[in-house]
Structure 1
Amino acid sequence: MARRPLRVAMIGHGFMGAAHSQAWRTAPRFFDLDAEPEMTVVVGRDPDRTEAAREQYGWQTASTDWRAVVADPDIDVVDVVSPGSSHVEVAVAALRAGKHVLCEKPLANTVAEAEAMVAAAAEARQHGVRAMVGFSYRRVPAIAFARQLVQDGRIGTIRQVRALYLQDWLTDEEGPMTWRLDKSLAGSGSLGDIGAHAIDMAEFVTGAQLASVSGTLETFVHERPLLGEGVGLSGTASSERGQVTVDDAAFFLGRLTGGAADGAIGTFEATRYATGRKNGLTLEVSGSTGAIQFDLESMNELRLYESSAPAGEQGFRRILVTEPEHPYMAAWWPTGHLIGYEHTFSHQVKDFVDAITAGTDPSPSFEDGLHVQRVLDAVERSAADGSSWTPTTTGSEPA
């Protein structure tokens, strides 16, 4: 049977644009969706680059006017993958125009911007319009399975959480400036770019939320060469230098509340200066009767420790998360055949479209994105004033 079309506009076309394009193209081929996503228009600032992205990624048309696209009555969904500084304006305008919105993480650059987006999403929800923030690592089957194990009580009461996101792409001090190093565009550095993922993943698996934090931020390289006009990231930098205005590394402790992790403590690290680490996102959750360990660089695996095993058999055991019983996996390949990073975005599209067609609220919501924004803000405030513990909700007491 023919499915009703769901016409999508994507605002932005960089790294995340490539990943989201792959997802919009692939999800309806592997999942039984009640609507057919159509890759209608991609939007960018530069007409030549936007047209090149349209042709490469398979969009029907290209535009440099996001306002006109958002106002177009033929558009059903707006997918925001542009830098964080644009999120609030684009998302709020799209929601007010009655478009469903998928917005990349972190939700915004500030708590105030995120609050405005939540207010717009709440108003739009009254008219059947849905909004979701793109924490794609929730859709790694091993992470979704880890959440199930926690909910089933397999590791008991959670006492400690360790979440690290380690990359090294900024270790070259002469590497050029990018928008991710400009606070006015990115909001923050490693903290918001990759630390947000570690925060959301830890909270998603445990079912708890960070109530207070104590953090340290560090910037190692304060100036970088600017790119010459028309020069790509792999090109030659100019002699002029720009100021790095974000953190290079973030470290913080956290106290969690709620669920099986009520009263637990967590340690978090996010850095783009961990030499030798390319995309090292790891999570370890220690409970009263067991533990779970995950490493994104072995993303089809989960390691589970259960203290109920006989003394001579105790230790972490490797679970290959490729069975059809595992989250999302029934749609893909036979048992033992691995999936990759790009599949998490297909799962994201699947869940978002399912929510739209079912008339239910998708997860993670803009409210979830606001909570993460408040955690990021609390870490920054803690690092700035040297306070031992800073609450993640203004006016509340530390947990």
Structure 2
Amino acid sequence: MDQHRPAPRPTLGIAMIGYAFMGAAHSQGWRNAHRFFDLPARPELAVICGRTESATREAADRMGWADWTTDWRTVLDRDDVDVVDICTPGDTHAEIALAALEAGKHVLCEKPLANTVAEAEKMTTAAQAAQERGVLSAVGFNYRRTPALAHARRLVEEGFVGEVRHIRAHYLQDWIVDPDFPLVWRLQKDRAGSGALGDIGAHVVDLAQFITGQQLTSVAGHLTRFVERRPLASTASGLSGSGGTETGEVTVDDAAVFFARTDGGALATFEATRFATGRKNAMRLEVNGSRGSVSFDFESMNELHVYDATAPARDAGFRRLLVTEPDHPYTAAWWPPGHGLGYEHTFVHEIADFVRDVATGTPPTPSFADGLQVQRVLEAVERSSDADSAWTSV
């Protein structure tokens, strides 16, 4: 045996449920986290699960999973599975997470935590009970792991902005502007829970609370739908049996806007839309305080703009920080300063933090309780919209 070779790290067997967009992003994280971060355990991509046999087999081969299955329940009995990673539509989150926790598997669940507050409450109660048995869980708000946003949180914690007065958050996309875009599952309330509000609005709600350390306590909002019916995915090309295109009802919001108050007295404004023509993934957040401000735009994800109100007027102005230095969050594991990171790195960071926490028995964040808080905000916005945008408690 080579006396100079370090002892092998313990492994952490992963089962991932789902193989599409989020499945690919999570697979990237599981494959690479231990290659760039010094982790106490090495993830092993044990098994991937999907509904369709041929597609699941192909995904396993393409993304580096050792095995595949079309029945997620079978992974709960496997001795080589320690973690269940849930990357499926929201209507399945609760059932899978509850069963996995009961089986003694650690759980990473994509956001939003569930489709309803009631489901999220059950999941949180189960997660808290499981934690007492050493079984840990987290919800996957990956944008928290953007180095610039993690640095923004640190600045706010250190008092750089002073008393938080304003939070301004937007998430703008345009991928369903075309009314002929098909009726995919994200446009169906029974599958997705909500539309732009839960799909992308959940991210900025979480970030607003994460960066400021304050929770939203009341909201006044409005949801709207611009396209009421869309072609069914199977007939979107016009190849239905009758020679026309069959349509189905869109049952989620296309856009959401709302005001909010925090438990720290700040006033917040939020916008989430998938109809912002020309905006592909414009997630923006700004915090204004008594001593300064921080401002972020994900389309320039390696940058953070800061304003120091205590500086002399002659020197005042927003400064651009390039968040790629070794003492910025996460960046020391990667490239030399100035060599930027991308969207996929947020998942590597998320996985690295989760593996480290599970291996050391540290409760991961964001927790299911954090996910429940976001779910309560989303539900309050829906209630407010139904009540003519009246102020509604979270």
What is the TM-score normalised by the length of structure 1? 0.95
Match of 1:289 in 2: 291
Match of 2:330 in 1: 328
Distance 1:380 1:228 in 2: 30
Cα deviation for residue 308 of structure 1 reads: 1.7
Q: 1:95 to 1:236 in 2, by over 3 A?
A: farther
Residue aligned with 1:50, SS: helix
**Partner residue of 1:127 out of 103, 111, 133:** 133
**Partner residue of 1:360 out of 354, 359, 362:** 362
Distance 2:238 2:162 in 1: 54
The letter of the residue matching 1:53 is A
Match of 2:9 in 1: 3
Match of 2:22 in 1: 16
Match of 2:4 in 1: none
Q: 1:312 to 1:236 in 2, by over 3 A?
A: farther
Distance 2:41 2:141 in 1: 22
Q: Is the 8 A contact 1:292 1:302 kept in 2?
A: yes
* Equivalent residues in 2 for 1:190-269, closer than 5 Å: 190-228=196-234, 238=240, 239-257=245-263, 262-269=264-271
Runs of 4+ in structure 1 over 6 Å off? none
Distance 1:84 1:134 in 2: 13
Match of 2:162 in 1: 156
Q: Is the 8 A contact 1:190 1:247 kept in 2?
A: yes
Match of 2:121 in 1: 115
Distance 2:390 2:28 in 1: 44
Q: Is the 8 A contact 1:226 1:237 kept in 2?
A: no
**2:377 is the alignment partner of 1:391:** no
Distance 1:314 1:350 in 2: 38
Distance 1:364 1:228 in 2: 37
Distance 1:253 1:155 in 2: 21
Residue aligned with 1:174, SS: coil
Match of 1:396 in 2: none
Match of 1:304 in 2: 306
Distance 1:58 1:109 in 2: 30
Bigger mean CA deviation after superposition, 65-74 or 84-93: 65-74
Q: Is the 8 A contact 1:159 1:288 kept in 2?
A: yes
The letter of the residue matching 2:300 is S
Cα deviation for residue 310 of structure 1 reads: 1.9
The letter of the residue matching 1:303 is H
Distance 1:340 1:186 in 2: 26
Unaligned runs of 5+ in 1: 393-399
Distance 1:242 1:72 in 2: 40
Cα deviation for residue 171 of structure 1 reads: 0.4
Cα deviation for residue 236 of structure 1 reads: 6.5
Cα deviation for residue 74 of structure 1 reads: 2.4
Residue aligned with 1:322, SS: coil
The letter of the residue matching 2:149 is I
The letter of the residue matching 1:127 is R
Residue aligned with 1:40, SS: strand
Match of 1:316 in 2: 318
Cα deviation for residue 119 of structure 1 reads: 1.2
Residue aligned with 1:59, SS: coil
Distance 2:132 2:313 in 1: 56
Q: Is the 8 A contact 1:169 1:278 kept in 2?
A: yes
What's the C-alpha RMSD, in Å, of the aligned pairs? 1.1
The letter of the residue matching 1:222 is E
Q: Is the 8 A contact 1:16 1:81 kept in 2?
A: yes
**Partner residue of 2:380 out of 364, 378, 381:** 378
The letter of the residue matching 1:84 is G
Residue aligned with 1:10, SS: strand
Q: 1:237 to 1:5 in 2, by over 3 A?
A: farther
Bigger mean CA deviation after superposition, 366-375 or 309-318: 309-318
**Partner residue of 1:168 out of 167, 174, 192:** 174
Residue aligned with 1:269, SS: strand
Distance 1:70 1:389 in 2: 44
Cα deviation for residue 98 of structure 1 reads: 0.2
Distance 1:236 1:60 in 2: 39
Distance 1:303 1:37 in 2: 36
Distance 2:130 2:206 in 1: 24
Cα deviation for residue 71 of structure 1 reads: 2.5
CA deviation profile, 1:197-233 (whole Å, cap 9, x unmatched) = 010011110000000000100010010001228x9xx
Cα deviation for residue 289 of structure 1 reads: 1.1
- Aligned positions, number: 384
Q: Is the 8 A contact 1:24 1:346 kept in 2?
A: yes
**2:192 is the alignment partner of 1:186:** yes
Q: 1:236 to 1:90 in 2, by over 3 A?
A: farther
CA deviation profile, 1:344-392 (whole Å, cap 9, x unmatched) = 0000001101111111100000000000000000000000112521111
The letter of the residue matching 1:220 is F
Q: Is the 8 A contact 2:222 2:389 kept in 1?
A: no
Match of 2:273 in 1: 271
Identity among equivalent positions (%) equals 59
* Equivalent residues in 2 for 1:32-111, closer than 5 Å: 32-111=38-117
Q: Is the 8 A contact 2:115 2:192 kept in 1?
A: yes
Q: 1:299 to 1:175 in 2, by over 3 A?
A: same
The letter of the residue matching 2:155 is L
Bigger mean CA deviation after superposition, 79-88 or 306-315: 306-315
